[in-house]
Structure 1
Amino acid sequence: MLSDQELLRYSRQILLAQVDIDGQLKLKGSRALIVGLGGLGSPVALYLAAAGVGELHLADFDTVDLTNLQRQVMHDTSSIGMSKVDSALARLQAINPEIALVAHRTVLDEDSLAEAVRAVDLVLDCSDNFGTREAVNRACVAAGKPLVSGAAIRLEGQLSVFDPRQPHSPCYHCLYGHGSDAELTCSEAGVIGPLVGLVGSLQALEALKMLAGFGEPLIGRLLLIDALGSRFRELRVKRDPGCAVCGDRHG
């Protein structure tokens, strides 16, 4: 059940008919893995913690650098040189001491990533490189766990939800294939801070919808964000029956 403190803390979202007490209890009983605690992972972790997702698993092997602070709003100047996970732990515990936090401070290899994914109900990919996104996708397909994937670079963002429990849901590999060797990172191409905040906030929203069971998640849809022109566009995405990752999961 929810304590009096929890009822007060979450009262504004409990007032929503789509959430109510039942939805809040679902959030309290949920576990989510956040891969990457940078520009995307910051709003994701902050909003999921504030919303009362019962157990957050935090994965990042990096440390806080001065160049991060322009967009990675979970960290501050006093965090420079700290593990991003430790910086996040302190901030999230201050925001909501009611939730449990699980730390992954090292690079997750294939086995440890598979174990981390199996331990949760939903995964949020907030990483900044294609190799990690592919590895997280494979682990989610193998474990049958939904994946909320976001990306942002320069002045463009993307967001989608992949759910291997749904027979018609594509996976990340269906959409992006093997990627490109020429893929750029934010440190090479740049990115505007509010854009990653927007994409990360939308990732958090999609996660709350999935975990509490309301609304229409972005499954089979790709949301494209043009920050320069303040435009949003949506594309339908179909599952590839011949996909090397998820192609044979139902047959």
Structure 2
Amino acid sequence: MLLGYRASEQYNSYYKPVYYRLAESGGQERLRELLSQTPSIQIYDTIESQLSELAKINNPQRQLTPEEYKVEVARYLDGKDPDEYGVWVYYPWSQKLVHLLDEEEFVQVRTSRNLYKIKPEELETLKTKKLGIIGLSVGQSIAMTIATERICGELYLADFDTVELCNMNRLSNCNVYNLGASKAVITAQKIAELDPFLKVTCFTDGITADNIDTFLGTGSSQLNILIEECDSIDVKILSRVKARAKGIPVVMDTNDRGMLDVERFDLEPERPLFHGNLNEEGIDLTKLKDLTSQEKLPMLDAMVNLSALSDRMKYSLSEMGKTINTWPQLASSVVLGGAMVTDTCRRILLSETTSSGRYYIDFKELIK
């Protein structure tokens, strides 16, 4: 084997960046040690440009001249070495070291173009929210859209699976050197490279009966919304049973005909699963993994409404086990799902919507 190891091994371990604040005691020594031990490190330092952006958004009524930008940057630095301003963020998986504004100013600049589509007080509210995503194929697009729009301050990501070549028809944030790596970890790395201050925790064993309560959390650490995007029928049902018991709303995108499911267990604690389409009587959560395909069919129908699927998806399902081994997903549908789920979750978090239901954004019907 080339070089005696698999390159993907490094991706299955690291997804949290390391911070170096040179103005803090020991910060410079720690950074010097990193630099001496990592000769191949790549350094990116645009702190003065970021400070110029900060000056620009803090002076919206002025058209600053180049000289005025220099004055504003100098005011922020206040006589300090530019190296000591902000924070140096190290990404172990790529050996990149990036000089950034520290968290408060970084978030202020990065989300400045959200105003006033999202009001300042709403941004502050969203910073306190925690979302969980089960399933990081469709879920990766959702996670990245959530992180990009920054509608929360913390994300839990769960998936036991690794990236395969056939996944890359829809995983727009994966590269060929990510093959074999954990889907959850890869997603967390991409989020950290976008926003190192967004807290992310990975559950690389996926969701099980043993860890579902930890994933959903309790009290002040509980998820505000569960986003369920996994393929396993047992996890789909188990996660909803647990979410309902804890009063956590569940949102799901099916990436066919733009179908979006919203179950407001936070507002309706007795709400039946899947809008009452699933017969909950007699369901044994411990035996769901052992169901035959025939036994799963009525459950799958309750989850996605098989009769309402697009003609091409219906045909695809008829070919499963014949010419294909799983149902298809298109990148355009997955990206649409990321947008729909993010928009819906933001409005739930800001109490702009209270609705449960099943909704369709079907381009074939809308655009003829």
For the superposition of Structure 1 and Structure 2, which TM-score range results when normalised by the shorter chain? 0.7 to 0.9
Task: Confirm whether residue 166 of structure 1 aligns to residue 166 of structure 2.
Answer: no
The residue number in structure 2 matching 1:123 is: 226
5+ residue gaps, structure 2, are 1-102, 281-294, 301-316
Task: Confirm whether residue 152 of structure 1 aligns to residue 265 of structure 2.
Answer: no
Contact kept? 2:142, 2:339, Cα under 8 Å: yes
Q: Alpha-carbon deviations, 1:210-242, whole Å to 9, x = none?
A: 22x15335x222112435x2449xxxxxxxxxx
Q: CA deviation at 1:29?
A: 0.9
Q: Distance in 1 between matches of 2:339 and 2:232?
A: 19
Match of 1:91 among 167, 177, 190: 190
Higher strand share: 1
Task: Confirm whether residue 189 of structure 1 aligns to residue 327 of structure 2.
Answer: yes
Residues 1-251 of structure 1: matches in 2 within 5 Å?
3-16=104-117, 19-38=118-137, 40-52=138-150, 53-118=152-217, 119-153=222-256, 156-167=257-268, 170-177=271-278, 181-182=296-297, 183=300, 187-211=325-349, 213=350, 215-216=352-353, 219-227=355-363, 229-231=364-366
Q: Alpha-carbon deviations, 1:179-205, whole Å to 9, x = none?
A: 962355895232322112212320111
Q: Distance in 1 between matches of 2:262 and 2:328?
A: 25
Q: Distance in 2 between matches of 1:4 and 1:193?
A: 34
Q: What is the identity, as a one-letter code, of the residue corresponding to 2:278?
A: G
Contact kept? 1:44, 1:201, Cα under 8 Å: yes
CA RMSD of superposed structures (Å):
2.5
Distance 1:187 1:195, change over 3 A: farther
Equivalent residue of 1:69, what SS?
helix
Distance 1:58 1:189, change over 3 A: closer
Percent of counterpart pairs with the same letter?
A: 20
Q: Kindly name which structure, 1 or 2, has the bigger radius of gyration based on alpha carbons.
A: 2
Q: Distance in 1 between matches of 2:255 and 2:272?
A: 19
Q: Alpha-carbon deviations, 1:26-71, whole Å to 9, x = none?
A: 1111111011110x21221111112222111110000000000101
The residue number in structure 2 matching 1:244 is: none
Q: CA deviation at 1:12?
A: 1.8
Number of positions where the alignment pairs a residue of Structure 1 with one of Structure 2: 223
Contact kept? 2:263, 2:275, Cα under 8 Å: no
Contact kept? 2:251, 2:263, Cα under 8 Å: yes
5+ residue gaps, structure 1, are 233-251
Contact kept? 1:35, 1:125, Cα under 8 Å: yes
The residue number in structure 2 matching 1:238 is: none
Equivalent residue of 2:254, what SS?
strand
Contact kept? 1:43, 1:197, Cα under 8 Å: yes
Equivalent residue of 2:169, what SS?
coil
Distance 1:168 1:85, change over 3 A: closer
Contact kept? 1:128, 1:151, Cα under 8 Å: no
Higher helix share: 2
